[in-house]
A and B are shown apart, each in its own frame.
Chain A
Amino acid sequence: MSVIGSQTANINATAGMPPPRIARMRRATFFSFVGLGTFVGSWLMYTYLAEQGMRKAEWLLLATFLPLYYQLNVGFWTAIFGLWLMNRPKHDPLNLWRTLKPEDRDAEITASTAIIMPVFNEDVTRVFEGLRSIYLSLEQTGHSKNFDVFILSDSNQTSQWIEEETAWLELCRQLNAFGRIFYRKRRKPINRKSGNVSDFCRRWGKRYRYMIVLDADSLMSGGLLTSMVRIMEKNPGIGILQTFPKQIGAETLLGRVMQFAQALYGPPFMDGLDYWQCGEANFWGHNAIIRLEPFIKYCALPPLPGKEPFGGHILSHDFVEAALMRKAGYAVRLLPTTRGSYEEGPPTLVDMLKRDRRWCQGNMQHFWLLFAKGWHPMSRLNFAHGILSYASSLLWLLFLVFSTFLAATPVQHVNPQATLAMRILLGMTAMLIFLPKFAILLDEMITGRLHKPFKGRLLTYISSMADTVVFTLMAPVLMIFHSQFVVYTVLGKGVRWVTQRRKLDGGVDWAEVFFNLWPVTVIGVAWSVIAWMVSHSFLLWISPILAALLLAIPMGILVSGKRSGHRFGLFLTSEETEPPTVLDLMNNNLAEIKGRIHLPAELEKHHGLLQVCLDPYVNGLHVSLLRRRKSIDVSRTYLDQIADRLIKQGPNALSPQEMKAMIHDTEIMTDVHYRLWSARDSDLAPFWATAIRQYNLAASNPFTHTLAQQAETALA
């Protein structure tokens, strides 16, 4: 890899930054509509409430209504503007794809680019098969020579770490990619993912002009990767270019509904966001390209005041990095894409809630940054929208609570103006909620962007009706949980950094669903009793919310199951009907690995450890990679005792700390290898005696345990 300077050829230093005049005009237009909608809605609400004079509870109700209605309007107008952009005959003058001319698409790429994938105890097979597909897709473009790939591991589970090392080596061997695909493991995962990325920037950032950040479940086509670099080259004013990652690979009902909804409704929302965010868009943490020089110079994250969870290390680093990049004078842009950028979503409701709790805490932390000096006003607004996306659940809950108590102390609405105001407000709210959905559906029916055949469009229509039911049932449950997350964060109850589950192994865990959702059902029962006591008409009014709360457990089980409507052709996305080559290749390889015969469960659980201790090549690899580090000063006697226990009692006899101390030491790891092979059967723990007997039978190649065995050299 030749090192190429980190200065972009100077075409026009600000190219890519939308002209301020256009940005101002767009925002003025957009926020005029939003402001008007919010004002009209709030005025109608006030008219209704103030008929007999405003009581304190009514003021509180109005206070919660206002931000909720603002948020509703932002969503509505974003979708409407997006639809308009997608359908207007004239091209969007700010569309970044237009900066590429036909001849640019074949021009040689001279900029050095690092594709980085931070991982933390992720499914090794999925990570490396995904990378294989990305790499091969990139090779196929013929412009891959200045791209390097880095797997940046923070995995703290021994077997996971060893499997990552072996998968890396085997992938490099199969693809002949030594010197192109690199693996780096941090000893101490300081500052989690953002710390992992910063560590890369400090060590190797100067070698590259761009960095493409991927998540462990990301998948990107070579065509899009090269286009992103070309766009960055043509637009030196852009600091971060974010693509729209479409969800793929879902198997559960929830996953497929979200995947479908994102495929159908996502593109207009993305276009709409691009319309009003202009050069002050957000970075979503992955599937994006970053200009490294300003990123290293300006985007290091400061610690927040106070302790975690509200202060301390910034969890949702992406929004802050986008704001810092904009503060440094570089644009942060969205790149509207329909193919080539993919990610996976959570498979079950409980997994989604776990993810949301982490995101909630991250967004709530941005409260500190709202008032910091020097931000672009739009960056401040982005922070506020992030906070509101979770705080709105609490506001909605309070709105419903206030409504319940106001219904318990009713005033007579005799003024026809007040009654009319309420009717208009109800109609307007229904329009804000459902019109974008129906407009997007109508657009799909006419244009067939998702599915060309008529049958496909018809099934899209039916699926859209069905997803409305699923989301209607889920929304109140999410409201309760998000409210709880907000309160927990403020009270100082933080979340641990855990690995996301991306696939459902086996069936639905009924106990997990029950233990997480029973409080929601209890709230539903209590609220139903109160509503019934208040009035029957109020019970009817609030029944959709209460029904969702009461049905939380069966709904949680239903959406987490694998009966996802696939066989009826429901919730189909174009990635399912016509998978892109990059996805097809990955899926084929994953299927090959799934069909393999495995070792006994106990050996399989500790497979990485087993390999590093027994296999001479895996041991050699691990020790060779460790050699590059400065070893920690740990007592030899202590390590000897640990090794002795490992050999005589098996892996379960060691604590994670002991395992960590041992696995990081080159001498003891070499020593353990020989001590295990030299010990008599009677001196070995049953685990090792079985392992020695069975290992050679199972390992035709020690490095392909987690990888497909065929050496793919080209994409089909």
Chain B
Amino acid sequence: MEAVNIQFAPETGTEEEWNEAYARLADYFRSYQLHNRIRRTQLILETLRRAAAAHKKDPSRTPTTHSIEQARLMMRDWLAAIYSDMNLTESQIEAAGRLGFHLSGGPSRWPNFFLDKENLPPDMREAMRSAIRTSGPGMTISRMTPREMDLGIVSEVAEDTFDRLGRHPILRYSILIGIVGGVLGYLYHLLA
């Protein structure tokens, strides 16, 4: 990484906008669990410097947007250097690479080399490459299909009946009312 230019003086955008961009970048890099504050500050300033250049070219977008976009580009460059020969697409590298950094213990073991593609330690590179995980072992497909089952004559009759009743709710409830009415009538007959 190049030396940090402490004299940060963007030619476009307001102070308020750049302060907001700074705060957002601080939160963003913190979400990577980088607890080394000096390193975080270096990254923020470097990203802001790049964002200022980008904002000068395209002032229609906010400094915050440019800042996060620059952070993303830096991330892509850095991850490409690690995973370039692994036959992954750019977006796969982006997702898996972020995860790989976490799983290899990067935030605590190599915080100073985060986004630093020039000085990447070989053990960090290897740890990140081997940390890409999958959700299951290789599949060995089996067929699991139900076998024919003869449900017998009773089920056939019942199926027809239920099917007919299912298609005619009025018939279904008429039978139910008939049964209930019959029982009540019989009980009335007994009590009478």
Chain A residues proximal to chain B, CB less than 8 Å: 1, 3, 55-57, 148, 150, 169, 172-173, 178-179, 182-185, 198, 201-207, 296, 298, 300-303, 305-307, 310-311, 367-374, 405, 408-409, 491-492, 614-617, 619-621, 623-625, 627-628, 666-667, 670, 674, 677-681, 692-693, 695-696, 699, 701-702
Contacts and interface: CB of A to CB of B under 8 A. Distances in A.
Nearest to A305: B159
A311 B162 contact: yes
A678 B96 contact: no
Contact of A405 (B65, B142, B190): B190
A303 to B, nearest CB: 8
Contact of A184 (B69, B136, B147, B191): B136
Given A300-B144, A311-B159, A670-B95, A371 B137 contact: no
A374 B150 contact: yes
Given A204-B137, A491-B176, A680-B64, 12 more contacts: A3-B140, A57-B186, A198-B144, A205-B142, A206-B140, A374-B149, A621-B99, A624-B96, A624-B99, A678-B62, A678-B68, A680-B20
Contact of A617 (B27, B102, B132, B158): B102
A409 B190 contact: yes
A296 B91 contact: no
Interface in B78-129: 91-92, 94-99, 101-103
B95 A666 contact: yes
A677 B20 CA distance: 12
Contacts of A310: 162
A182 B137 contact: yes
Given A301-B146, A408-B191, A681-B20, A371 B68 contact: no
Nearest to A165: B135
B151 A674 contact: no
A202 B141 CA distance: 5
Contacts of B141: 202-203, 206
Given A184-B135, A205-B142, A302-B149, A619 B158 contact: no
Considering residues A203, A370, A624, which has the most beta carbons from chain B within 10 angstroms of its beta carbon? Answer: A624
B166 to A, nearest CB: 6
Contacts of A702: 33
B57 interface: no
B27 A696 contact: yes
Contact of A678 (B32, B69, B132): B69
9 contacts: A55-B190, A184-B136, A202-B144, A203-B141, A302-B149, A372-B151, A616-B98, A692-B27, A702-B33
Contacts of B30: 696
Contacts of A681: 20
B3 interface: no
B24 interface: yes
B135 A306 contact: no
A617 B99 CA distance: 5
Contact of A372 (B33, B103, B149): B149
Contacts of B134: 628
A643 to B, nearest CB: 15
Contacts of A56: 186
B95 A305 contact: no
Contact of A620 (B68, B97, B142): B97
Given A674-B72, A681-B20, A183 B96 contact: no
Contacts of A616: 31-32, 98
The 3 A-B pairs with the shortest beta carbon distances in the complex, nearest first, are A620-B98, A623-B95, A371-B152
A624 B133 contact: yes
A286 to B, nearest CB: 19
A368 B151 contact: yes
B170 interface: no
B176 A302 contact: no
A679 B155 CA distance: 63
Interface of B: 20, 24, 27-28, 30-33, 62, 64-65, 67-69, 72, 91-92, 94-99, 101-103, 132-137, 139-155, 158-159, 162-163, 166, 172, 176, 186-187, 190-191
Contact of A182 (B31, B136, B152): B136
Contacts of A667: 91
B191 A405 contact: yes
Contacts of B159: 305-306, 311, 368
Contacts of B91: 623, 666-667, 670
Given A57-B190, A302-B149, A405-B187, A677 B28 contact: yes
Contacts of A701: 33
Contact of B132 (A179, A201, A408, A624): A624
B18 to A, nearest CB: 12
Contacts of B136: 150, 182-184, 203-204
A670 B94 contact: yes
Nearest to A1: B137
Contacts of A623: 91, 95
Contact of A302 (B20, B147, B158): B147
A201 B97 contact: no
Considering residues B62, B140, B148, B150, which has the most beta carbons from chain A within 10 angstroms of its beta carbon? Answer: B140
A679 B64 CA distance: 7
A692 B24 CA distance: 9
A331 B187 CA distance: 49
Contacts of B176: 491
Nearest to A405: B187
Nearest to A703: B102
A614 B68 CA distance: 13
A359 B104 CA distance: 46
Considering residues A203, A628, A701, which has the most beta carbons from chain B within 10 angstroms of its beta carbon? Answer: A203
A310 B165 CA distance: 12
B28 to A, nearest CB: 5
B78 to A, nearest CB: 13
A144 to B, nearest CB: 16
B186 A300 contact: no
Nearest to B165: A492
B190 A680 contact: no
A1 B138 CA distance: 11
Contact of A677 (B68, B137, B144, B158): B68
Nearest to B130: A178
A191 B163 CA distance: 22
A614 B65 CA distance: 15
Given A56-B186, A374-B150, A628-B134, A202 B27 contact: no
A59 B107 CA distance: 80
Nearest to A700: B33
Contacts of B137: 1, 148, 179, 182, 204, 207
